[in-house]
Structure 1
Amino acid sequence: MLYLPPPVRRRVESLAANLLQPSDGPQVDFAAPAGEPALVTPDSVSWQVFKNPATLFIGGVAAVILELAEPRVRTGVWEHTSFRQQPMARLQRTGLAAMMTVYGARTQTEKMIAHVVRLHGAVQGVTPAGTPYRATDTDLLDWVQATASFGFLNAYHVYARALTPGDRDRFYAEGAAAARLYGATGAPMSEAEQQAQFAAMAPRLEASPIVQEFLTIIARVPVLPTPLRRLQSVMVRAAIDLVPATIRQTLQLESTGGLTAGQRWLVTRAARAADRLPLRSGPAVQSCRRLGLPDDYLYRRRQARSAP
């Protein structure tokens, strides 16, 4: 585990808490109700992956890039969400929802997902090219689930700690319960299924100025404090690097620039440090407490799943 001086730890704890608890909504207590299980068990790969705030940010940005590559998803997100007007609040709500699907008490998580599904029911329209869409379309839900799983898993695998092929398959399979609740009945259950889904979707993906607009917004929104804002921009570059090369080419992101050797070293150091730092106020530790597990449970286990 990583030791931080108490003042630094308090600052990091406060920063992490603010990133996940929207100011315009109810606060979620991951420590309650005592003993209630989550959709995913504590010995899962998902509990390991989602404990790392650095790779969650990187993976989340990569996932949104991939989502916005699909024109129906892109139109729905850009026309029916508040991301452009309130990017920080939107990031907080999205991050909290992701944490709930892994760590949240089952009844609370099911209630949260049901609310999201009801909201999706009202989202529909037509893309600029004239293609109709509904947010409840199964193939779109499957794509969003696939891109989210891909982003979070690969950010952790590449920048924090390499996982075995078996554990990468387990990660996809562990998302099945949440995917079904969202209506993503064809979401990938293995890495091979994810790759097949990406290949099948490739002909539908296209470049758009909206992708560049998203990247500009996400690099500037105050996720990290001012002294670390440059690191935030580097982490956005790290997310672009995760996008498969063929899709980067389709999206015309090659000129955006990848990580230099020095930047990759910086991102890797930050991600590995985050993987060794239990955040007492964070969902991972709070959920361990809810289930009667020690605060450092996930950090004791971290070496058990490393790839050879």
Structure 2
Amino acid sequence: MGVRERIAAELTATMHGGDLRLERYAGPPGDPGLFGIVPDDPVWRVHGHATGMLTGGFAALMLQSLHPLAMAGVDQHSDFRADPVGRLNGTVRFVTTTTFGSAEAAREVIGLVSRIHTRVRGTAPDGRPYRADDPVLLTWVHTAEVRSFLAGHQVYAPRRERLTSAECDAYYRGVAPVAEALGARDVPRTASAAERYLTGMRPALRATPAALDSVRFLRRFGRTRRERFVVRLLMNAAVGLLPGWARAALGVRRPAVVRVCWDRPLAAAVGHVLVWGLGPSQIQAAARGRLAGARRG
């Protein structure tokens, strides 16, 4: 097995559990998907950019951890420490299926996540009750996630492929129905609304011991030395995608010159290698083939 094949196999195992399950994306012919997301749509473009999604994904986990109730749910119910790859597979499966999958496949993963949410409830260390299907928490998790994905795309996509202001707003509108299908309410539908939402949430946010521990865990994550090295580079780059107040809350001190002149070029280089190793996306190719059925019809 050559270098490229080894990279592809390792990434497929880490991100997708070793099986892309292309049948979720390939049919039925002409199926528009649950939310009508199509090639060249801002959602497709953002979620199809590997480096932006990897760095944005790590940034999302750090930002989400600042909500004490959301973090308590993860800390008390998730097996991310024992099986971090399994949790990553679940997140990747949800995002790729709702973006590129058929309507039936999207409904299936949304239903699965919704059922899991009904079982996640408890009491945070500060004494407040929480439940994962709380619309307030669902809106927080969604907004922190998609804001981070978009930030990753806008930094790491080639300049000609970055979204305009109008396309950024279209991205937020495009992803909102996914959150609402899970039960979120009052989901931001423009970039400015998302930033206002985050500003309004700041009084409720803080770095709990569980949040700080989760960030330390992420920085050490990796089953091999090579994987740990790549994760550390991507985590450093993800720090640069966070709002300044979020970095301060997490106690991350990484000067701007380091973030821009060191972290970004390294993450971009790693991203190029990973994209080269993966080759053209089989998931996107399958989805394009499915959507082409509608045009032929």
TM-score (norm 2): 0.86
- Judged with a 3 Å threshold, the aligned counterparts in structure 2 of structure 1 residues 207 and 255 are, in CA distance, closer, same or farther, namely farther
1:127 has 2:124 as partner: yes
Q: Which residue of 2 aligns with 1:303?
A: none
Read off the aligned partner of 2:284 and give its amino acid letter: A
1:289 has 2:284 as partner: no
1:143 has 2:140 as partner: yes
Residues 30-57 of structure 1, C-alpha deviation per residue, up to 9 Å, x if partnerless?
2233332222122311111112222211
Q: Which residue of 1 aligns with 2:73?
A: 76
Tell me by how many angstroms 1:139 deviates. 0.9
Residues 45-97 of structure 1, C-alpha deviation per residue, up to 9 Å, x if partnerless?
11111122222111111111111100000000111111111111111111111
Read off the aligned partner of 1:128 and give its amino acid letter: P
Q: Which residue of 2 aligns with 1:90?
A: 87
Tell me by how many angstroms 1:192 deviates. 0.7
Read off the aligned partner of 2:183 and give its amino acid letter: G
Q: Which residue of 1 aligns with 2:57?
A: 60
Q: Which residue of 2 aligns with 1:37?
A: 32
- Judged with a 3 Å threshold, the aligned counterparts in structure 2 of structure 1 residues 272 and 21 are, in CA distance, closer, same or farther, namely closer
CA-atom RMSD in angstroms: 2.7
Q: Is contact 2:20–2:283 with CA below 8 Å preserved after alignment? A: no
Correspondences of 1:225-304 after superposition (within 5 Å): 226-227=225-226, 229-254=228-253, 259=259, 261-271=261-271, 279-280=279-280, 282-292=282-292
SS at match of 2:73: helix
CA distance, structure 2, for counterparts of residue 26 and residue 287 of structure 1: 12
CA distance, structure 2, for counterparts of residue 128 and residue 34 of structure 1: 50
Q: Is contact 1:61–1:239 with CA below 8 Å preserved after alignment? A: yes
Q: Is contact 1:160–1:268 with CA below 8 Å preserved after alignment? A: no
Structure having the larger proportion of residues in helix:
2
CA distance, structure 2, for counterparts of residue 146 and residue 105 of structure 1: 24
Tell me by how many angstroms 1:133 deviates. 1.2
Name stretches of at least 5 consecutive residues in structure 2 with no aligned partner.
Answer: none
Tell me by how many angstroms 1:20 deviates. 3.2
Q: Which residue of 2 aligns with 1:17?
A: 12
Read off the aligned partner of 2:168 and give its amino acid letter: R
Q: How many residues align?
A: 286
CA distance, structure 2, for counterparts of residue 153 and residue 209 of structure 1: 28
Read off the aligned partner of 2:267 and give its amino acid letter: V
Tell me by how many angstroms 1:180 deviates. 1.6
Read off the aligned partner of 1:87 and give its amino acid letter: P
Q: Is contact 1:56–1:155 with CA below 8 Å preserved after alignment? A: yes
Read off the aligned partner of 2:67 and give its amino acid letter: E
Read off the aligned partner of 2:188 and give its amino acid letter: P
- Judged with a 3 Å threshold, the aligned counterparts in structure 2 of structure 1 residues 34 and 19 are, in CA distance, closer, same or farther, namely farther
CA distance, structure 1, for counterparts of residue 280 and residue 157 of structure 2: 20
Name stretches of at least 5 consecutive residues in structure 1 with no aligned partner.
Answer: 1-5, 294-308
- Judged with a 3 Å threshold, the aligned counterparts in structure 2 of structure 1 residues 50 and 279 are, in CA distance, closer, same or farther, namely farther
Tell me by how many angstroms 1:197 deviates. 0.7
CA distance, structure 1, for counterparts of residue 75 and residue 152 of structure 2: 25
Tell me by how many angstroms 1:117 deviates. 0.7
CA distance, structure 1, for counterparts of residue 59 and residue 265 of structure 2: 19
Q: Which residue of 1 aligns with 2:182?
A: 182
Correspondences of 1:101-180 after superposition (within 5 Å): 101-161=98-158, 162-180=162-180
Tell me by how many angstroms 1:137 deviates. 1.0
Read off the aligned partner of 2:291 and give its amino acid letter: L
Q: Which residue of 2 aligns with 1:194?
A: 194
CA distance, structure 1, for counterparts of residue 236 and residue 274 of structure 2: 18
